[in-house]
Structure 1
Amino acid sequence: MGRAEARQARQRSARRAKKSGPSGIRRFFTFRKILGTFFGLCLLAMGAFFVAYMLVPVPQANAHAKLQSNVYKDSDGKILARTGEVNREIVGLDKIPKDVQYAFVAAENKTFFEDSGVDIKGTLRGLKNTVTGQGKQGGSTITQQYVKNYYLTQDRTVTRKLKELVISLKVDRNKEKSEILAGYLNTSFFGRNAYGIQAAAQAYYGIDAEELNVSQGAYLASLVQAPSRFDWAVASDETKEAVTNRWNYVLNNMVEENWLEKSARDSLKFPVPKAPKAALGLGGQAGYIVDAAKKELMRQGLDEADIDAGGWTFTLNIDSKRQKELERAVQEQLEDELDRKGSKVDATVQAGATSVDPKSGKVVALYGGVDATEHWFSNATRRDYQPASTFKPVVFASALENESETQDGDPIGLNTMYDGTSKRPVEGSDTPFAPQNDLDKSYGPVTVQTSLNRSINSAFAQMAVDVGLDEVKETALELGVPDVNFPERPAIALGTMGASTWDMAGVYATLDNHGKKVTPTIVAKAEHKDREFEVQDPIGSQVISRETADTVTAGLTGVVKNGSGIAAKSSAYEAAGKTGTSEKNRSAWFAGFTPELTTVVALFGESPKDGGGQVSLTGTAEAGRANGGGFPARIWADYTLGALNGGSDAEFDLDVAEIAVPDPDPTPTDTETESEDPDPTPTDTGTESEDPDPTPTDTGTGDPAPTDEAPITPTFTPPTGTFTPPVETGDGDDDANRDEERRPLNP
């Protein structure tokens, strides 16, 4: 081949190469193709995002985000208990100091007030970390964190992250920044089981969110990044250094954003949080108090489901000092005397008490039992036991209010005479009834005042018939005795209906309040973040005249001074009261009051076996028969002295028509034939056979045989102050609350 041919061959090869273009990968990736592909993908992504934006709605809040606890505070604002699945109390942004708000923005999202609700770079970084399994994403804005907490879940998936991005944009467009920030602060988790800034402020500093300072706010803002690890109480030295650095970072950002003066920042010291405490649950008396508050709110019309949904702050009338005094008095006067593990009788003893301010109706203290986690059923509010002879003043009040007369036509008053013979059949009743007095003692002719002092059953059974059983019941219901097992038969004079210490505290507080109705009330305020429930006024109308109420009070002062309630007597205060011991010694009561405080204390015999059941209190603390003048009166006296700060000069201001004239001290006589069974023996008329005792089955030791001896009581150590030691005289109403239809009278 010559030169000419070779040149032509090269030219032909060049032409072919030019026509075919680059070979291999160079031929596939051209600049124009790459650019076109990029724009195509961008358009595709934009289209997909537009479709997602249109299709993905802002969902309803997730169930967890809406859960809140209820907070119960005493009258001084101290938290008594929190209830609910989640420890969260949602508060408005107005309850969070401005510099604390800025601390969170400085910690998490400095551009929060200007951005569109998302951080594209941070989101892409989070997606990359999620896809490659490199752990938790970072860089989310406050809006994105709020959306995750409030609308979505904590799942770390690509789908959830994309939803978060779309919803955040929508939320930012549709909500104010202040609303988003409030939602973020109320849904963030801070460790120590605290959700939201209010719970966090309580958990770490023991204060409400509105009391936080900027230094404390900066620490809580630092916690959000790693709540468990950054808790100062459990942090290692290395982690404490990291926490401190994070705290400094927050404050420095605040200075940088002109949200904090540098001089103020330089003066701040790290606010070491308090050590963690156990959650304020329902142990001790807290459970009984919470239960009473909830029942009261429901009686007043607040729906149970609304309460259980949470978010309420209930301020109660409980006085923390008086509450402690009541718990101490029960412990020292009763529990320290019992052998609950070694004595079958002591194991059955349940104590309950309710204390009320008679002028305001506020329940200032309550005792529901040894511990709400051990014995949930509250002994303060239970109505399955008879109030026994604490009902007798109600019979007398009805007699005065109705201007009733005896069978002989004499007006009934403190000096009216009655026959105090034991087992004396009542006159004028269609239902025969012959009640037995305590220990079957007979007193002969006695005044109403002496009948109160000695709690003489025969006198009050006759009085109830003289007044009219329907009238007695009407007066009782007006005073606050509940309509529970309330038969209109002569036995009601002996308190055979069901009632609680709460109920009877209302009755006696009404007497203390000169006849103006007192409904014991434990809730002072009920506030939700966006509404308030109006609590009813505890003080009602005049249900009995002042003269009636004051005359009954005058009579009850004699019970404390000279009668069965003498264990409650003290020179440190003026008091009135009444003892009560129910059928078969199953309950023992003392209902008493001073001009400033009304308190009812009761003991109940309750079988510890499955199913419970009422049993006898006889043998409690190896002290023979239990009675209202024993443990209940001593608990009352000890508590009252402490609750009144050692005593009071207040005196009863009584408007009475007559003053009781003392009887010559009646010397009771015993019946000649003493029955082993102390039950009365009324004639059966054939139609009525109900047992008025709410829980008649007795699984205990049974009744003691009547005895001439006064009830044995344990030695009482009086509280400090000028307290008069008790002289035991017997209660006067044990084994006497019988249904008059049990069996025929003895011939």
Structure 2
Amino acid sequence: MGRADVRRAQRRGARRSAGGRPSGIRRVFTWKKVLGTLFGLCLLGMAALVGVYFYVDVPEANAEAQLQSNVYKYSDGSVLARTGTRNREIVGLDRIPKDVQKTFVAAENKSFYTDKGVDLKGTARGVLSTVSGKGKQGGSTITQQYVKNYYLTQDQTVSRKLKELVISLKVDNKYSKDDILAGYINTSYYGRGAYGIQAAAQAYYGIDADELNVQQGAYLAALLQAPSQYDWSSATPTGKRLATERWNYVLDNMVKQNWLDSGKRAGLAFPKPQAPKAPTGLKGQTGYLVNAANSALEKQLVAQGTSADDAKAKVDAGGWVMTLNIDKKKQRQLEKSVAAKLTNKLDPKSRAVDADVQAGAVSVSPKSGKVLALYGGKDFLTHQYSNATRADYQPASTFKPLIFASALENNSTTQDGKPITANTIYDGTSERKVKGSRIAFDPPNEDGVDYGDVNVQKAMNKSINSVFAQMGVDVGMENVMETAGKLGMDTKGLPAVPAQTLGSMGASPLQMAGVYATLDNHGKKVSPAIVSSAEHAATKVDFPDPIGEQVVDRRTADSVTSVLTGVVDDGTGSAVRNSDQDVAGKTGTSDSNKSAWFTGYTPDLVTSVGLFGEAQKAQGKIASGAQVTLKGAAGGGRVNGGGFPAEIWAAYTFDAMGEPTKFKLDTEMGAAVAPPPDPTPSTDPSPTTPEPDPSPTSPTPTPTPSTSQPSPPTPTPTLPTAPPTPSTSTSEDPGESESGEPDEPGLPGGGFWGDDDR
């Protein structure tokens, strides 16, 4: 090869080295290949997103997002309690002022009304932050935050972020912006345990959401960025500065979006929130009121076709706003009266029996049927069984007026065919055997007192057992039980036997208040109502009118009322006597002194007070919760209906009733009209009708010196020769009646003769 050939060969090699033939790396990566790969990846990503879009459905709301509290309000609208594991009350956007709605958009997502529900840059930033382990990263739209709160979880994972993106697109396409904004405002956490704007408005400003102004709304919107740090009551100086800056940022954005006038903006001052309040619990009477309201709502849902289990589940799920008929002032007055006249006098450390005393009371308006006050026990947290609604104790002689009402309603006559009125004479001999009954019955009177011939008025005044036992047989116990049922007592399934004349069935203060309210309402049925209204989201439950139809004739009801004024003026209810106010009522003291009652009324207010002996703890053969005697409570002797119950009644009623009122009665009999005469003594035990005597024998009522503190002397009782028959409802052994006949089985609440009425 010549020199020329060598040079040519060298030049060819140089050209190949300079690019004439690709190197190894350039043979693998070319611009065309790189661009093609990137394009393919984009197509693959887009296909993946499309696939995910069609694969991921909008899920059901998560359980946490649906949890709400039940809100209970007094009749004046003030909050009584909130219950539930989540303090949230969902409200519609129509209950949130327009400018307050805009504060949240200005704070979180100014493009909310025009975007498609997602922020791709913000989402990408969040994904990268999650992948790199840097934690939470903002930038989501209101729609995305709503989706996270309502459909997903707070987990910071890539898969959750991608789901959030896809679901947000679908939600934005499916729902209106107003729906999404409402969902966001109602599911967000604002601090202080408040979820949703309604709970937040209450927690920070003590008002409902519809009362918020724009500056308060701006603060709540600002809180969402850092609820704990921005809470004014606990914030550091730095936290307060940041909260104020965030508040200004929200309002300035509203001005920029033309949602707020700049002149108005300049005049707005930072709205410092109130100090946090302790959560309203169920202590004291609150738990009893809440449970009574829940029971009333469940009962109404069942009446409207919901099963009992489903009704309870619906109420327990939360979200209800219940307005009770409870008058806040009267509720406090009733609580104070029980404390002053009873619980402050009990000393369980010194007297074991004092620990066994339970009190219950219910106050009702006879004209509206509303339950105005309710006392369920000393404290719901220590005794959750409400004494106001329990029906396991005997109402005792508070049942006697119903026997007389049945006699009048049925135009009943005595054994010798004479009409039964307030003037009718009966033999009041203790342990007198009733006539005309296939079941032997001979109840003793209190302390075994023999009254001889007495008229019905005096028999009611003195609560003479033997008279009403005979009257029940004369009327027919089937008729008596039917009338009692019409008036409001639960008599279904109870035997119509003479022993029922002593009130040996079970009854509650709520039930007895309704019965006497019906008498007070001139015979129109009163079904005491604890709840005025109940709403859940857009659903409102309608409750029936507490005032029903005429169940007994007006003259019947008014005659009973007239006779019951005599019990107060000249009988066992003298502790509530008041010279300025018409009062009717009846005492009751049950078998073995296990319960004591006073149920009484004025023209405008009916209140039933009951005391119950309930073993606080097991004592030998007596189980915890068993019915036990009240005797010896507060250091006294026998606890009579004319004692603590009547004193509580008077202290409450004369404080709560307002101006004195008079009964307007359509009757010509009874103490309120003209006290009937005492009969001429007779040795004939059969009922007789006396000759008219124009001179009344009942003394003129003596004014009580202090209506708030009636304190009649407690007589020392003379015990009957034979003790009362033990109650069959407790662990005591069943005994025999004083006539030697065995007790009749199946009567709830105890035995049959032990009505030691006072």
Deviation at 1:685, TM superposition (A): 6.1
Instruction: For residue 301 of structure 2, give the secondary structure of its aligned residue in structure 1.
Output: coil
* Separation in structure 1 between the aligned mates of residue 159 and residue 587 of structure 2, nearest angstrom: 72
Q: Which amino acid aligns with 1:269?
A: A
Q: What is the alpha-carbon distance in structure 2 between the residues aligned to residue 685 and residue 46 of structure 1? A: 94
Q: Counterpart of 1:694 in structure 2: which amino acid? A: G
Q: Name the structure 1 match of 2:745.
A: 690
1:377 to 385, 390, 396: 385
Q: Which structure 2 residues correspond to residues 160-239 of structure 1 after superposition, within 5 A? A: 160-239=160-239
- From 636, 649, 654, the equivalent of 2:665 is 654
CA distance in 2, matches of 1:576, 1:735: 17
Matched, 1:734 2:756: yes
Between stretches 25-34 and 409-418, larger displacement belongs to: 25-34
**In 1: Cα distance, 2:503 partner to 2:519 partner:** 17
1:627 aligns with 2:640: yes
Which structure 2 residues correspond to residues 235-254 of structure 1 after superposition, within 5 A? 235-254=235-254
Residue of structure 2 equivalent to 1:529 = 537
User: Of residues 556, 559, 576 in structure 1, which corresponds to 2:584?
Assistant: 576
Equivalent residue letter for 2:51: V
Moved more, 435-444 or 380-389: 435-444
> What is aligned with 1:710?
none
Task: Determine the structure 1 residue equivalent to 2:711.
Answer: none
Q: Name the residue aligned to 1:675.
A: 721
1:564 maps to which of 572, 596, 599: 572
**TM-aligned CA deviation for residue 28 of structure 1:** 4.9
* Map of 2:688 onto structure 1: none
Q: 1:696 to 1:123 in 2, by over 3 A?
A: farther
1:151 aligns with 2:206: no
Contact 2:570 2:698 (8 Å CA) reproduced: no
SS at match of 1:300: helix
Q: Distance in 2 between matches of 1:407 and 1:131?
A: 97
CA gap 1:25/1:275 in 2 versus in 1, 3 angstroms: farther
Check 1:408–1:660 CA distance in 2 against 1; reply closer, same or farther (3 A cut): farther
Counterpart of 1:551, as a letter, is S
Distance 1:695 1:110, change over 3 A: farther
The farther-off stretch of 595-604 and 290-299 is 290-299
Aligned to 1:501: 509
Task: Tell me the distance in 1 between the aligned counterparts of 2:435 and 2:577.
Answer: 36
Shifted more, 674-683 versus 618-627: the winner is 674-683
- Structure 2 matches for 1:304-319, cutoff 5 A? 304-319=312-327
Letter in structure 1 aligned against 2:655: G
Alignment partner of 1:101: what SS?
Answer: helix
CA 1:654/1:672 → structure 2, altered by over 3 Å: closer, same or farther? closer
Q: 1:26 to 1:609 in 2, by over 3 A?
A: same
Question: For 1:27 and 1:197, how far apart are their aligned partners in 2?
Answer: 64
Change (3 A) 1:666 1:252: closer
Q: Which amino acid aligns with 2:13?
A: S
Question: The residue matched to 1:117 in structure 2 has which SS?
Answer: coil
Q: Distance in 2 between matches of 1:255 and 1:178?
A: 21
Moved more, 287-296 or 344-353: 287-296
**Aligned-pair CA distance for 1:5:** 5.3
Q: Structure 2 vs 1, CA of residues 320 and 342 (structure 1 numbering), >3 Å: closer, same or farther?
A: same
1: CA distance between counterparts of 2:551 and 2:748? 28
Contact 1:100 1:217 in 2 (8 A): yes
- The CA distance in 1 between the partners of 2:494 and 2:640, in whole Å, is 23
Post-superposition offset of 1:364: 0.5
- Calculate the TM-score normalised by the size of structure 2: 0.89
CA distance in 1, matches of 2:400, 2:572: 13
TM norm structure 1: 0.90
Between stretches 280-289 and 580-589, larger displacement belongs to: 280-289
Q: Find the counterpart in structure 2 of residue 95 from structure 1.
A: 95
Runs of 4+ in 1 over 6 A off after TM superposition: 664-667, 670-673
Other-structure match for 1:437:
445
Partner SS, residue 442 of structure 1: coil
Kindly provide the CA deviation profile for residues 435-461 of structure 1, in whole angstroms up to 9, marking residues without a partner as x.
Answer: 111111111111111111111111111
CA distance in 2, matches of 1:25, 1:319: 89
Within 2, Cα distance between the matches of 1:180 and 1:666? 75
Kindly provide the CA deviation profile for residues 680-703 of structure 1, in whole angstroms up to 9, marking residues without a partner as x. Answer: 8455667x7416343579xxxxx9
Instruction: State the aligned residue count.
Output: 698
The answer for the alignment partner of 1:615 in structure 2 is 628
Question: Residue 731 of structure 2 corresponds to which residue in structure 1?
Answer: none
- For 2:559, the aligned partner's letter is T
Per-residue CA deviation, residues 70-93 of structure 1 (Å, 9 max, x unaligned), is 111110001111122211111111
Q: What are the Cα deviations for residues 465-504 of structure 1, in whole angstroms up to 9, with x where unaligned?
A: 1100000000000000112673311111110000000000
Note if contact 2:461-2:567 (Cα within 8 Å) is conserved in structure 1: yes
Distance of 1:451 and 1:349 partners within structure 2? 29
1:57-81, Cα deviation, whole Å (9 max, x unpaired): 1111111111211111110001111
Displacement of 1:359 in angstroms is 0.2
CA distance in 2, matches of 1:671, 1:16: 133
Q: SS at 2:195's partner residue?
A: coil
Shift of 1:674: 4.9
Equivalent residue of 1:72, what SS?
Answer: strand
> Paired residue for 1:354?
362
1:739 alignment counterpart? none
- Corresponding residue number in structure 2 for 1:465: 473
Question: Would you say the 8 A contact 1:484–1:499 is kept in 2?
Answer: no
Instruction: Go from structure 1 to structure 2 and tell me whether the alpha carbon gap of 1:365 and 1:673 turns closer, same or farther (over 3 Å shift).
Output: closer
Distance in 1 separating the partners of 2:174 and 2:26: 50
**Structure 2 contact 105–112 (Cα < 8 Å) conserved:** yes
- For 2:339 and 2:719, locate their aligned partners in 1 and report how far apart those are by CA, in whole Å: 42
C-alpha displacement of 1:195: 1.1
Within 1, Cα distance between the matches of 2:121 and 2:677? Answer: 95
Deviation at 1:671, TM superposition (A): 14
Paired letter, 2:629: S
Using the TM superposition, give the Cα deviation of residue 298 of structure 1 relative to its aligned residue in structure 2, in angstroms. 2.4
What secondary structure does 2:352 align onto?
A: coil
SS in 1 for 2:80: strand
Measure, in 2, the Cα distance between the counterparts of 1:372 and 1:484.
Answer: 30
Check whether the contact 1:144–1:164 (CA below 8 A) recurs between aligned residues: yes
Q: Distance in 2 between matches of 1:158 and 1:472?
A: 75
Question: What is the match of residue 350 of structure 2?
Answer: 342
Deviation for aligned residue 1:297: 2.2
- In the aligned structure 2, how far is the partner of 1:292 from the partner of 1:498? 19
* 1:534-580 deviation digits (Å, cap 9, x = unpaired): 10110011000000000000011111111111111123421110000
Contact 1:512 1:593 in 2 (8 A): yes
Q: In the superposition, relative to structure 1, how do residues 696 and 225 fare at CA in structure 2: closer, same or farther (>3 Å)?
A: farther
Match of 2:497 in 1: 489
User: SS of 1:136's equivalent?
Assistant: coil
* Residue 104 (structure 1) aligned with residue 117 (structure 2): no
Deviation at 1:17, TM superposition (A): 2.1
> Higher mean Cα deviation, 605-614 or 209-218?
605-614
Q: Does 1:366 align with 2:374?
A: yes
5+ long unaligned stretches in structure 1? 698-702, 704-731, 737-747
CA positional deviation for 1:220:
0.6
Structure-1 separation of matches of 2:545 and 2:50: 59
Deviation at 1:18, TM superposition (A): 4.8
The equivalent residue for 2:704 is none
**How well do the aligned residues superpose, as a CA RMSD in angstroms?**
2.3
Point out the more displaced range, 223-232 or 633-642: 223-232
**Percent identity between the aligned chains?**
60
Matches of 2:651 and 2:27, distance apart in 1: 102
Q: Give 1:639's aligned residue.
A: 652
Q: Which string of whole-angstrom CA distances, capped at 9 and with x for unpartnered residues, describes residues 616-665 of structure 1?
A: 000010011101000000000000112124xx231100000324324387
Counterparts of 1:555 and 1:461, CA distance in 2: 18
SS at match of 1:520: coil
1:87–1:195 CA contact under 8 A, matched in 2: yes
Tell me which residue corresponds to 2:82.
Answer: 82
Structure 2 residues not aligned, in runs of 5+: 303-310, 619-623, 680-696, 700-715, 726-735
359 and 305 in structure 1: CA distance in 2 versus 1, 3 angstrom threshold: same
CA distance in 2, matches of 1:476, 1:510: 11
Superposition deviation, residue 134 in structure 1:
0.9
